[in-house]
Amino acid sequence: MAEEKCVFCQIIDGSLPTIKIYEDKTVLAILDINPASEGHVILMPRTHYETLDQIPDDVLVFLFKLAKLLSGIIKKVMKATGINIYACEGKSAGQRLPHFYINLIPSYDDNPVSAEWERKQVEPKKLEEIGNKIRDEAKKESIKLVTEETEKIKKKITKKIADESAKKQKIEKKKEDEEMRQMKSLIGRRIP
């Protein structure tokens, strides 16, 4: 027997009913049926990705552009005074379904919603240790990222230069041909 599809995938393929807010070929936004507040929207990629790092960059960019757009619309339409843009990854973080999603939870002055957590005390030395660990890894990984991006940009520029030069050569060849044609016709006329 085939493994049962996740609830969001069933909503996406239409086998479970939902109230759709927005959809296109990349993303789907639905109304949460057990909302944290009125106007709580769930935004997800149509493809089943469990974690943020599995999502391709172009999908991710589009997903967050949509989060920006829908946040503004929800605030405006619902007359909310704030909005939580909230994603969880992993059970321990509160991810309820293994399909990455972003919660857009409006907040109201008379019905505030905020992601509160216990603010813990950590020894300064420990904080420094944690800072170093994350900073070192981020530095390593960001260098990789920057190198990749730089390579992409370099390739793009090289291609653009090659294209431009091909275009220029074409124009010059045309000009030369035209000059040659004119010269030939001029010579032709002078010859008795």
Q: Which residues bind Zn ion (CB under 5 A)?
A: 6, 8-9, 48, 99
Dihedral (Cα; 51, 52, 57, 60), 10-degree rounding: 110
CB of 7 to Zn ion, least distance (A): 7
- Secondary structure (3-state) at 90: coil
CB of 8 to Zn ion, least distance (A): 4
CA atoms within 13 A on the CB side of 14: 1
- Return the number of the residue (6 or 21) whose C-beta is nearest Zn ion: 6
- Return the number of the residue (13 or 151) whose C-beta is nearest Zn ion: 13
Neighbours of 8 (CB within 10 A): 22
Identify which of 78, 73, 68 has the alpha carbon closest to the alpha carbon of residue 39.
78
- Return the number of the residue (56 or 72) whose C-beta is nearest Zn ion: 56
CB of 10 to Zn ion, least distance (A): 8
- Return the number of the residue (9 or 43) whose C-beta is nearest Zn ion: 9
Identify which of 42, 59, 55, 47 has the alpha carbon closest to the alpha carbon of residue 101.
42
List Cβ neighbours of 18 (8 Å cut-off, separation of 6 or more). 11, 30, 31, 33
| Structure-token pair, residue 122 | 């950590």
- Return the number of the residue (2 or 187) whose C-beta is nearest Zn ion: 2
CB of 6 to Zn ion, least distance (A): 3
CB of 161 to Zn ion, least distance (A): 44
